[in-house]
Structure formats: C-alpha cells, structure tokens
Amino acid sequence: MQTDPILHERVRRALAPHPHVVLLLPSPDADQSVACLNDRVEKNLRALNEHYVRHPANESLAKMVVYTLGKTPEETCAEILERLAISLS
C-alpha cells in the first residue's frame, strides 16, 4: 500500500486549523498495537491495520496521541479531556 503524498498534504491542510486531532493507538509499541488491533478484526483487515499503525502519516497529522491498551473507553475519554483541559461539568 502506498499513501498519496498529494492526498496527505490535502488532509494535513484540512486538519491544520483544528486544535484537537487525536490519534488513538493501543500502545506506543507498533508491534503491540498491530497485534491488539488484529485481535479485534477479521483476517482480511490485518494488513490494513499494520499499514496504518506503522505509516508515519497518522502521527504527523495528529496533534495528540493517546494510548488505550488496558484502559476502558471511559478512562480513555477522561485522559483525552484532561489533556485537552476540558471538563464534562
């Protein structure tokens, strides 16, 4: 799989004015992230998971990376809100 650099630049420009672009990954370790994500999907999607976890475009577009392994959705949400200094109250 190849990522089109023109498309990447177009996406980068579209996201640039948005202060909260968050990349969710299971772990900072790419191998662990791929394994975790592959456990959640059918075999035909595993190559796609690996491509997106390892491709540098995703981290270059994100303004924040949050790792989710071992966290509940509520814990992940709370971490994002805390890091963005946003309160639910």
Per residue in 32-60, pLDDT (tens digit) is 999 999 998 888 889 989 998 999 999 99
List, as one string, the DSSP characters of the chain.
Answer: ----HHHHHHHHHHHTT-S--EEEES-SSHHHHHHHHHHTS-GGGHHHHHHHHH-HHHHHH-SEEEE-TT--HHHHHHHHHHHTT----
Segment 65-71 mean pLDDT: 97
pLDDT band for position 61 (cuts 50, 70, 90): very high
Comparison of pLDDT for 85 and 36, the residue scoring more: 36
- Rounded Cα distance between 22 and 80, Å, is 8
